[in-house]
Structure 1
Amino acid sequence: MAEPLAADLRADGHTDWRAYRPLLLPPILAASLAAFDEHGYHGTTVRDIARRVGVTVPALYYHYRNKQALLVELLIGSMNAALGRCRAALEEAEETPAARFAALVECIVLYMANRAPLAFLDTEMRSLEPANRARYVAMRDELESLMHAAVRDGVALGEFTTPYPIDAGRAVITCCQAVANWYRPTGPLTPQQIADRYVQISLSTVGHTTKPTPSDM
């Protein structure tokens, strides 16, 4: 019997897509995340996770069938949470492609910074069994498709000038996801400051054009 799914691993586990509290996971998942981060998936044993939680191995198996189930819960849950926030950001954004694009970039960077340990676990996608990997890849593809749609629409409407919309969208999302690799809470910038900078960098990447207002003419 698995532990109840934490709010931080659900698509609807937030009230404001920009707001984050400290990551709160059930003890077994928190211990698993720490162990995977420290030793990698293949270097972690179920016995090590049980020791961290302070339970016996049979007690851990009562909640999760095996180590793979723990990785799946964390990876799928993290992607669920990221997608949920991105959908909320798009619903709140103005209808223009540039506004949707900016909201996506901001949302992804905020997630990568505020949930860096979970987001960094994406590197263990290679450790998922085929069926689980297919589920995870499908969710990643959905996130990428949101970005590609915004870039494609921006080019079609003349808001973006990049001659390579697919490549530009891929470059932006890869750049945003990489924040999880280097972000540290002790750094000089807050997650919001980083997200604001990345919005500007990303808009430049896709060749965003700003139409002049009457006061500029």
Structure 2
Amino acid sequence: MTKTDAGADWRTYTGTGLPPILETALACFMEHGYHGTTIRTVAARAELSVPGLYYHYPSKQALLVALVSHAMDDLWRRSAAALEEAGDDVRGRLDLLVECLVLFHAHQRDLAFIAYSEIRSLVGETRTTYIGARDRQQRLMDRVIEDGVARKVFTAPYPRDASRAIVTMCTGVAQWYRADGEHSPRELADRYRAMTRMTAGAV
């Protein structure tokens, strides 16, 4: 998905938006884990030679970095668009940011799961960059909750803790959500909006 597409309708999902090689790598990582996947396995499933795969991505680490970077960039664009839609309404900003997080982690479950679970496999500067992107994403919710408390719209006694709890709950959807489960992503988003209002102490 392009930046324009995400900004135009951050609720719409039509696949992962990944190029075919990364789609293949994602499937392999989901099946075997990062460390259990070999370049040869990815190349064979992508119907490429190993040198052909290396032409596009020089290492297995490069595949992982491309996946997590795509995940964080897409979530950031969608989150920014959701907050822009809400405007200055702090309740609306909480509702739409939560909706964005839940929809992303349900629709992009595999991608979000790998981005979360394989942070341990990132090395060097790439790990530092990912943590920076994750922290930047967290600060969006921090500011929403802190602003709501400052305006006396939210009554959470520990705003930063409430913000972390809300984000953890929303991102945790990727750990258990199944497309054939009891609730659709839309229904989950509605439920989580109600639960997070209580967490924030919305009045």
- Same fold by TM (over 0.5)? yes
Deviation at 1:11, TM superposition (A): 4.5
1:99 equivalent in structure 2: 92
1:191 aligns to 2:171 (yes or no): no
Q: In angstroms, what is the RMSD of aligned CA positions?
A: 1.1
2:12 equivalent in structure 1: 19
- Report if the CA contact (8 A) 1:33-1:74 is conserved: yes
1:63 aligns to 2:56 (yes or no): yes
Moved more, 41-50 or 21-30: 21-30
Q: Which has the higher helix share?
A: 2
Matched residue type, 2:124: P
- Report if the CA contact (8 A) 1:11-1:80 is conserved: no
Deviation at 1:22, TM superposition (A): 2.5
Question: Any idea what SS the aligned residue of 1:163 has?
Answer: coil
- Provide the rounded CA distance (Å) in 1 between the counterparts of 2:160 and 2:188: 24
TM-score (normalised: structure 1) = 0.90
- Report if the CA contact (8 A) 1:72-1:132 is conserved: yes
Question: Any idea what SS the aligned residue of 2:118 has?
Answer: helix
1:158 aligns to 2:152 (yes or no): yes
Deviation at 1:188, TM superposition (A): 2.1
Give ranges in structure 2 of 5+ residues lacking alignment.
none
Q: 2:83 aligns with which of 79, 82, 90?
A: 90
1:77-101 per-position Cα deviation (integer Å, ceiling 9, x unaligned): 1100000000000011031221111
Aligned length in residues? 201
- Provide the rounded CA distance (Å) in 2 between the counterparts of 1:39 and 1:73: 18
Q: Which has the larger radius of gyration?
A: 1
1:110 aligns to 2:126 (yes or no): no
- Report if the CA contact (8 A) 1:12-1:84 is conserved: no
Give ranges in structure 1 of 5+ residues lacking alignment.
1-6, 210-217
